[in-house]
Structures are given as structure tokens and as C-alpha cells.
Structure 1
Amino acid sequence: MESEARGAFRLLRGVAVAALGCAGLAACATPMPTRLPPTAQASRPHAGSPAPGSTSGLRGTEKPYQIKGIWYYPKADPGYDERGVGSWYGEQFHNRRTANGEIFDMDVPSAAHKTLPLPSIVEVTNLDNGRKMQLRVNDRGPFVDGRIIDLSKAAAEQLGYGRAGVARVRVRYIGPAGKTPFDQPRMIAAAPPPAEPRSEPRYVPPPKPRVYAGGLPPAQPAYDTPPPPKAADLDFAPSAPPTPLVPAEPAPALSSAYRVQAGSFANRDNAERAMAQLGGAGEASIESIQRAQGVLYRVVVQAGPDEAEAFGVRDRVAALGFSDATVLRP
């Protein structure tokens, strides 16, 4: 009896061992999953570009982004030179932040591009009239088929298509821009070239009033430069000599005169250095502008009452190194 029990025990043990062996073989024969984990399935949109949303090795303004279902891949392109349609944007985005965090001012020349690095400097030429200027790219756009660049309202007016809204343009990449709109090393010329001779007389603003000890002013000496405008050219013509006064500040420009803005600076010392470079362009001065971000010091050059003359002054200012020079209308 005892031998039969031992035999049955051996039989049961053998069956159990066999069952365990089969289970192990079944586990080895089970196929591996064919679906990779989600992190392993991510692929790059195209060779050399990171996956959308990736921040590896990229600055903030170089990240790919999506607009209306289309992905854009910002990158530096030193040889960028393209022709197409340019447009402009203004009041709807005025005082709002741009793609690189600056405050958009429609009255200051600037530009938006879909893929060039932010900030960059580009040269934009209006192919319809030949006007061209260099602009700071600090925003993204335009996202309309066929358009290659968006300009601020001021820039579009300078290039002559403010009223039309669009124009045929050429856009050429110049290089990276400074970190801020007021940090432009190209704004100050190291050695300004001599002013070109002009055959026509240059507009000269009225001189400051003087205080004389006697009742009548002394005889005026001869001037090498053209005399100041006559009283009939001013907004008023007094019937008698006014009482002489000593002004606390320089007399403001006539409301009917154009001015050319050479640049705006957060630091007054920089503004004064810029003004010193503008002696060959005309009468320059500094205006303080109070803004939410602080005081800006705007350097302007008087340009006279004629629009064509004003654009001529702007060209002279640009030739002295102020490529963002803008004509300010009366």
C-alpha cells in the first residue's frame, strides 16, 4: 500500500513539472508588442528640424510654431532675398506685445516676417517707386498667401504704400539686430562723411530772440548762410517789434514744417551723441517723449515745409548712418 502511494506521488510530481515547463515555453512564444511607446514614435517634421514644441537647442524666437494648421520653422538665412507682396498693420495691434516681447508702435518703422530670426534687420524696397529702407523685424506675419512681409504703418508710409495697403516689394536679409530697439550699433556713424554740396538754399529755422541793452537792436552782420525766413512766412506777422524775451527752452519748430526722426533712445547720452553726428544734415534737436515704459529721447532734424525736401533730408540723415530715419508730417 505504501509503495502504491509513493508511485502515485511520483506520478503527480512529474505531471506538475511538465505543466510548469509548458507554461514557460508558452511565455517564450508570446509575440512582443508591435506598437512603440508614444515617446518613441515622435518623429521630426523634416530633416534637421526639431519636433513641434521641442525646445532643445533653440532660442524662444526660433521655435517652430503653427498658424491655421501650417507649421513654420524659423531659421537664420544669410542669403535671404525674396520678392513678393508687402502689406502693413497698425491700430489693431498698437501697443500690444510682438512675438519677441517688444511693444508694437505703429508710428515707429518695424516689420514682421514668418521665419527670419527675431530680431533681425532687413532691407525692404518698394519695387513700384524704388524707395527702400532698413527695418527691424520683431514680430511674426503676415499669414496671408502671397505676402512675404508686414510693415508697421509708419514704415509703409515711408515706402509710399500706406494708402494702397499693399505693394510689390523686395526683402533682403541684412543681419541680426540689437537686443532692444534702442541698442542698434549701426545707428551711430563712427565718422560721418562730409555733407554733399547743395545748389538750392537750405531751410533754416528762425533764430532765438535776443535781449538788447538799448531800445533798438544793432545792425545785423552779413551772413554766410541764407537769412532766416521773413515774418510774412510765419504763422503771424506782428505790426510792431515784440518785447524781447529770453526763452527757457529752444523755440519749437513751426507746426507747418516737416521733421525727420533720426532715432529714439532710452538714454539721453546716446541721443546727444546721435545729435552730434547730424551736423551735416541740418538743424537737429532732442525731444522728450513720456511713455508707459519710461522717457524716450527722440532726435529730430528740421526739414522745412516741402515734402520733397523732407524726404531729401531723410536721405541725408540715412547716409550718416541712421538707416531707420523717418519723416514726421506736420
Structure 2
Amino acid sequence: MRKDKEWSDALLKLVSDLNNFNYADPSKDPAHAGCVPIYIDGHRVGVVPEDVLAELTNYPDVFSIHNDNSNKSVHLNEKLSTVEERSKAFEQVLQDLRHKEKFVTLKGWRNEKYSIYYKLGEPPLCHVERAGCPLFGFIQYGVHVNGYTLKDGQLKMWVGRRSKTKQTFPNMLDNMCAGGLTSGLGVTECTIKECQEEGSVEDETLKNLKAVGSISYCFKDYRGVEPETQYLYDLEVSPDFIPKNADGEMQNFQLYTIEELQNLIIAGEFKPNCALVIVDFLIRHGYVTPDDEPNYCYIIQRMHMALEPSL
């Protein structure tokens, strides 16, 4: 287990890169001052980047731009009062923007819907194409599984290599099983589905699946604003278990020691949020401790950023 400055610096870089956007109040950051909140049914549910805002003015039947005391905001038309109507409106706008090739993120169209909530646990306000969510800064939810085993007297973790044709982060390292929380699926239901599709994990092994918490963060990149919450699971597998991909989203799997994982994180080989999932595992299992990591509390705080409104 590495405990040197290079490792510590890599942890700081990771949490900084994944939190380069102030989701609660982007106006506090001059670099993001042009981003404005978007409201559905009177609820703030996202943040619209400045370049997206300019395009939304072309859809006055769907969106209205308010400018109250210099506080600009986007509002979905109140006449769109049902989940179905709102979902259809977003679909039409995004398909039009896709056809016009306005935004890079829409080139990775998934034909997969994400549910948009004001508060998770309440009924969804609408369902939106996954690739379009960064254009509105909608919170995206996902599931990640740490598949690990004890072999040769030490803990090792299974890691997958993403397909070269993945819409995002192709050919990078990933957790053994992971995926977005698709509309209509429960969290554990989605996790089991990903385990079966990405790793061919059998039902008997899935009995060891354990929910262990979540991480949340928000960053802005070439696709847009991406606030994300990932539900985390640990899955201890037998030493002779070998994951086999069944959906074409992984090239292969490799079993790594803790120090090998650290070196890969330092080298930037991992999809960033997947690296953060592993860091969470290392903290929970006592590999990263406050005695060895000078930025221990700061790192943990930056792994659990507040995205949802207060209860």
C-alpha cells in the first residue's frame, strides 16, 4: 500500500477534477457565471450552461427565460403538466438539437432514459434521454460494484477495460460492474442487472452483494454540467471467479492488488468516477487512514457533495 506524496497528490487531483463546478450556486464562480438554474413545476432541478441557454430560446413553446432582478433562469412551460408531456417535449427538443449537431454529448445518444427528480423518493417529474442530461445539469444516478477477493494472502480487485466504442471514456479502466440508473429500475435491481450483463455474475455469488453507501460530486466538461450520485456496492467473489462480459461494454477483466490499483489511479488509467469508487473502498476497508493521509477529511468531504435539496 503506497503512502507517499504522489499518491496523496493523485487523490487531491481526483476530487478536484470531479468537483470543478459549484452546483449549488454557479454564479459564485466567474468561470461559470453564465450558467443558470432550470425549473420544472416550480422546482430547481438543474443548471443550464450558457451555450445551451442560447439554443433553448428557439423553443418558446417548451422553455421560457425569466430575468428577475438580473437573476436569469429557465422554466419548463407550465402547460406541460404531466410526466408524459414533459418527457415528450424534452425528447423533441433533444432530437432536434441532435439533428442539428449542436452539442457533442448528443453524438453519444443512448436510447436510454433517466428519471428527473426534485427529490429522490418522490415521483419523477419527467424522463430524459441520458445523453441530453448534461445540457440541463440534471442529477444523474448510477450504480458501481467493487468486485474483490482474497487470493494469495492479499485482497485483490477485479477491474474491467471499457470497450473502445463506448460513448464516453472509451478504453479506460472501470469498476467490475457499473451503469446508470435507468428509468423504471430500483437501485439494487439495476445493480444486479449490471452484474449479470457486464460480469456474468451468477445468482449464488450475488447473494454476497452488499450496499455500502454512495458518493456524489459535480463537474463541468465538454458535454455540459454533470452532477452525479453513485450508489456503491461491494461484492466478495471466490478466488476462482472470473468475470465474463455479456453485453459488449467491456473488453476484458484483470485482477489487481491494492498497490497496482493505486499506480493505475496515479497514471490516470481509470474513468475518474470509477477511481473515486475505488478510493471509497480503500477508505472503508482501512487502506487509506487519517494517520497516513494528510488530506483525509477534505477528500471524504469532496466525495459527498450536497446535490439534492434539503429535506
TM-score interval w.r.t. the shorter chain?
under 0.3
Larger RCO of the pair (alpha carbons < 8 Å, separation 6+): 2
Bigger radius of gyration? 1
Greater fraction of residues in strand: 2
TM-score norm. by structure 2 comes to 0.24
Greater fraction of residues in helix: 2
TM-score norm. by structure 1 comes to 0.23
